[in-house]
Amino acid sequence: MMRGVVLAGALALCGPALGQGLEPGEWEFSSTMTSAVLPKPQQMTFRHCIRKEDADNPERWMGQKQRETDCKFTPLKKSGDGYSWTMDCPKSKMKGSGTVRIGQGTMQSEMRMNGDAGGKPFDMHTQMSGKRLGACKA
């Protein structure tokens, strides 16, 4: 169950950011998730080539993993370089909200979630950063 929570958190942070306009290319994303139900902070780093035709649709570049979540994202506020949203994941029994800021070749995001993992209530805080590394490798 906690693996699903980690995945949902990462997807939630990436998805709205892409809709805001990440520049296509090779990106590296790093996240740190903290919660009292985790033995230690969970860190994840991954790289991905975001193609121009996929940049506005995280489901296309995240493939099957995006479809595995039951989360619905609702936009709240959009500004020049920022975006905020709420999320509701009824099957996973999670709710949350987040923000993202996008700069030239960078992104910073933060999300707070709460829910029920195997009968144990939890609160979770996730921070993610991303940086564009350059053109996608062939």
Instruction: Report the C-alpha gap between 79 and 76 in whole angstroms.
Output: 10
Say which CATH number the domain at 16 has.
2.40.128
Phi and psi, residue 77, nearest 5° = -150, 140
- H/E run at residue 76: strand 72-78
- Model pTM score: 0.74
Distance (Å, whole) CA 138 – CA 133: 14
Residue 48 confidence (pLDDT): 85
User: Alpha carbon 39 to chain centroid distance?
Assistant: 21
Determine the pLDDT at residue 18. Answer: 46
How many domains does the chain divide into? Answer: 1
* Domain range enclosing 11: 2-134
Give me the pLDDT at residue 73, please: 79
Say whether pLDDT at 1 is over 50.
no
